[in-house]
Structure 1
Amino acid sequence: MSDLDGDPPAANEPGPSEPEPNQPARRRRWRPWAFAGLALLLVLIAGGGFYAWRLNSHLNNIDRFDTGEIKNRPAKADNKAINVLLLGSDKGKEVAGSGADLAEDADAATWPKGKYRSDTLMVVHISADRERVQVVSIPRDTFTMLYDGEGNPQHKEKINAAFANWGPTGAISTVEHLTGVRIDHVAIIDWAGFKELSTALGGVPVTIPEAVYDSKQHKQWEARDYLLKGEEALQYVRMRYGLTRSDFDRINRQQNFLRSLMREMLDSGKLTKPLEFDAMLKALTKNLVVDDAWTNDDLRSLAIGLRGLDQEKVVFLTTPIGAERSDPTYGAVLEIDKPKAKALFAALRGDKMRSYLKKYPDDALAEDDQIS
């Protein structure tokens, strides 16, 4: 059940997706990647020849981990939409007795509490007809009940603590209880993964409209156009200090960067050039870790299903927030706008996001939005 208001989970939501108007593994060292754009990339390479051969080869490099059994999960909705939980994580600090990487730690009997942090949480919703994708960010400071790796309630805290304390399964359970949305798959990234992909692309164009100084990373950003790659791309997506709205502006930066990255992948012509294509595919798959239920066959099937997806039908949103307040234990926290969030999560469960966006068009990050 959703922690917002006790509504029943996905099994009791309306199932069919919305019609269009007027119509009826192998284990290796983990270095996570930039997930956004993977489906779009796979769409264009799902055909035969060199591209399909290279795809099959690189898919074998993907790391996977076992999510185990999580209790009290929402039932799957009666539609064929897919919901993927995307987590952004650092590489982790050294903890005695822990594994060499996240995939090993996720499979271990005990999760190394505090080794990893996750400041980015996104629910990627792929519609049942595979014609639309919505990416819904959940701010890291969202104050909610946390659930452990087995699905048991613990205490209320900022949502990013779920991953730090109980790993991927804790994050899955916490997000599922908050939203009532069944998570079908999970993908985990380290924002450092952008370094390789942005470099393989030759840079990602962004515009910074006003000069701003990042006191945390000691980086001055001038008001101009940038072609970001490598370390500079990482600094851009991770910036929080110096921004007017802190984490909200960081979320918008990340969303803007992902959209620009997808456009660069699709419009640059690199996908038709074998060497450039291979470099991008390598940067994607070697930096990826997903749940072990997400097989290579599943990814190929998704690619085929998304073959007709238009990049303009990928929409970025943020979970509605009602208020910011100070908690005596956890400092500045964000409270969910329960009525509006209830409508958003119901739309995700029922694959009715087109109706939600029609009612709340301003929730989508506009094409011309520029974030300092």
Structure 2
Amino acid sequence: MAKDGKRRAPLWARLCAIFGCVLMVLSGGALITGQVMMARYAGAVENKDLFGNEASQTKVSDIKGPLNILLAGIDPRTDEQTPLSDSIIVAHVPASMDQVYLFSIPRDLVVDIPPFGKTGFRGGRSKINAAMGFGSAIGNGKHDPAQGFDLLAKTVQRLTGIAKFDAGAIINFGGFKQIVDAMGGVTMKIDQNVKSEHLQPNGKPRPRYARCADNTCAHPYYGPQAEYKVGTYHLKGWQALDYVRQRYGLPKGDYDRQRHQQQFIKAMAGQALGKDVVTNPVKLDRVLKAAGKALIFDGNGHSVVDWGFALKNIRANNMTSIKLPGKSLFDGGKYVGEGLDPSAADFFAAVSQDRLPAFLLQHPEYINKNS
């Protein structure tokens, strides 16, 4: 209990609320074991320069709002495969440091990607999830997602007008599954009926058509599908991850998937506050280990523990989920990607100028009601 009488979220749970339950560390309270766990977790997280700025690894000041944090979710891949940022989320923390606004950038959004000298990429117009790939090549057929994140960040900055990101993280989707399993599952609301493109009801991969083995088919799978019905359910790790990855067959495609991912983040943040995790040292240790394996982090010279203390007032119930209105783009009847509504320019200006509450008051349609 805090001195003001209000219940404070444990430090690791505050981080969970911001980074989708990935940056989890234990509260720095009275227990010595808590300090040991914090140091252990901080050492487990892989820290890299994600913004192409070696100086970012040197602490220059305290963490103060307003803040903008870029999160990119990627599938597990070898260093010989080109990484794609299939989930791009910006977390905006206002100067008051007591709220967070989450908005997703559509993975198929057609944008201008700037030149990138490290790979010789000359710049061009493409889907935004390709930016990480264009920036990731390090020679000899190898790819580094951390280097690719730098170009992704520059692309999102150009799109949104955000001058710089104060922190960034690459989150491995496979790591999310391990975190949920370590927590004993996650309870979340499913707001629409969804069928899995990828998995069977038992969680095993659906078989592929032989002629689609090279991924040239839009729907290469066949056989029974895992299904998720409207309602509130306690999901296993594979179920939660599978549900939030689906977009095919949904009325609004990737926009529905973005909403589901934001719902997932809030559900995980709420689960993190449960006594079943906080007071269970064995389960907590498993969660911390899973979180450490799931994340590559750049805190601009500040550790995950520094960020946890700075965001001490963030909880799951003061997270606002934002939806960016947009529509599909076609060229001669062929789908080429997504485009945002013109009003998005005003939204991005509100983010850069830290006046989102006023903007959302005038544009309530930007708030995800089901999150």
TM above 0.5:
yes
Q: Secondary structure at the match of 1:187?
A: strand
Q: Residue 105 of structure 1 aligns with which residue?
A: none
For 1:158 and 1:329, the matched residues in 2 are separated by: 18
* 2:116/2:123 contact within 8 Å kept: no
Q: Give the aligned partner of residue 88 of structure 1.
A: 73
Report Cα offsets for 1:8-33 as digits up to 9, x if no partner: xxxxxxxxxxxxxxxxxxxxxxxxxx
Is 310-319 or 222-231 further displaced after alignment? 222-231
1:174 matched to which residue of 2?
A: 155
Aligned counterpart, 1:360? 363
Distance 2:197 2:295 in 1: 30
The residue number in structure 2 matching 1:24 is none
Question: What residue number does 1:163 align with?
Answer: 132
Q: 1:350 to 1:331 in 2, by over 3 A?
A: same
Query: In 2 relative to 1, CA 127–46 (structure 1 residues): closer, same or farther, beyond 3 Å?
Result: farther
Q: Report the equivalent of 1:68.
A: 52
Query: What is the CA–CA distance in structure 2 between the aligned matches of 1:364 and 1:324, rounded to whole Å?
Result: 20
Residue identity in the other structure for 2:132 = F
Matched, 1:146 2:113: yes
After superposition, give the CA deviation of every residue in 1:286-327 in whole Å (9 maximum; x if it has no partner): 32102373432xx32322222232321111113332x32214
How far does residue 213 in structure 1 lie from its aligned partner after superposition?
Answer: 2.5
For 2:76, the aligned partner's letter is K
Alpha-carbon separation, structure 2, partners of 1:216 and 1:269: 31
For the residue of structure 2 that corresponds to 1:144, the secondary structure is strand
Cα 1:276–1:365 shift into 2, 3 Å? same
The answer to which of 174-183 and 152-161 deviates more is 152-161
Q: Where does structure 1 differ by over 4 angstroms across 4 or more consecutive aligned residues?
A: 150-153
Q: Does 1:348 align with 2:355?
A: no
Q: CA deviation at 1:92?
A: 2.1
- Report how far residue 69 of structure 1 moved: 4.6
- Work out the CA distance in 2 between the residues paired with 1:227 and 1:203: 6
* Residues 349 and 209 of structure 1: CA distance in aligned 2, closer, same or farther (over 3 Å): closer
The one-letter amino acid paired with 2:297 is V
Other structure's SS at 1:118 match? coil
Is 1:201–2:183 an aligned residue pair?
yes
CA distance in structure 1 between the partners assigned to 2:117 and 2:350 by the alignment:
27
- Once residues 222 and 192 of structure 1 are traced to their aligned partners in structure 2, the CA distance between those partners, rounded to angstroms, is 20
TM-score (norm 2): 0.74
Q: Provide the C-alpha distance between the structure 2 equivalents of 1:199 and 1:236, rounded to a whole number of angstroms.
A: 15
Deviation at 1:269, TM superposition (A): 4.2
Residue number in structure 1 paired with 2:321: 316
Distance 2:167 2:76 in 1: 21
Q: CA deviation at 1:165?
A: 1.4
Q: Contact conserved, 1:208 with 1:221, CA < 8 A, in 2?
A: no
Write the distance in 2 (CA, Å) between the matches of 1:210 and 1:251. 13
Matches for 1:1-372 after TM superposition, within 5 Å: 35-38=19-22, 41-42=24-25, 45-49=27-31, 50-66=33-49, 67-69=51-53, 80-93=65-78, 95=80, 115-150=82-117, 154-166=123-135, 167-181=148-162, 182-208=164-190, 210-217=192-199, 218=206, 219-223=225-229, 224-291=231-298, 293-296=300-303, 299-321=304-326, 323-327=327-331, 331-338=335-342, 340-366=343-369, 368=370
Shift of 1:242: 2.2
Q: How far apart are residue 133 of structure 1 and its match? A: 0.6
Contact persistence 2:194–2:227 (CA under 8 A): yes
Tell which deviates more after alignment, 219-228 or 180-189. 219-228
Q: Which consecutive unaligned segments of at least 5 residues does structure 1 have?
A: 1-33, 71-78, 96-113
Relative distance call for 1:292 and 1:257 in structure 2 (3 A) is: closer
Aligned partners of 1:200, 1:264: CA distance in 2, in Å? 12
Hey, what's the Cα distance between the residues in 1 that align with 2:351 and 2:243?
A: 29
Describe the SS at the equivalent of 1:280. helix
* Contact 2:65–2:93 (8 Å) recurs in 1: no
Q: Partners of 2:194 and 2:314 in 1: how far apart?
A: 36
Aligned-residue RMSD, C-alpha: 2.6
Q: 1:36 to 1:294 in 2, by over 3 A?
A: farther
- Between 1:274-283 and 1:121-130, the stretch displaced more is 274-283
Relative distance call for 1:347 and 1:197 in structure 2 (3 A) is same
CA separation of 1:210 and 1:131: change in aligned 2, threshold 3 A: closer
Q: Give the deviation of 1:347 after TM superposition.
A: 1.8
CA distance in 2, matches of 1:341, 1:231: 34
What SS does the aligned partner of 1:237 have? helix
Range that drifts further, 287-296 or 349-358: 287-296
Separation in structure 1 between the aligned mates of residue 336 and residue 298 of structure 2, nearest angstrom: 32
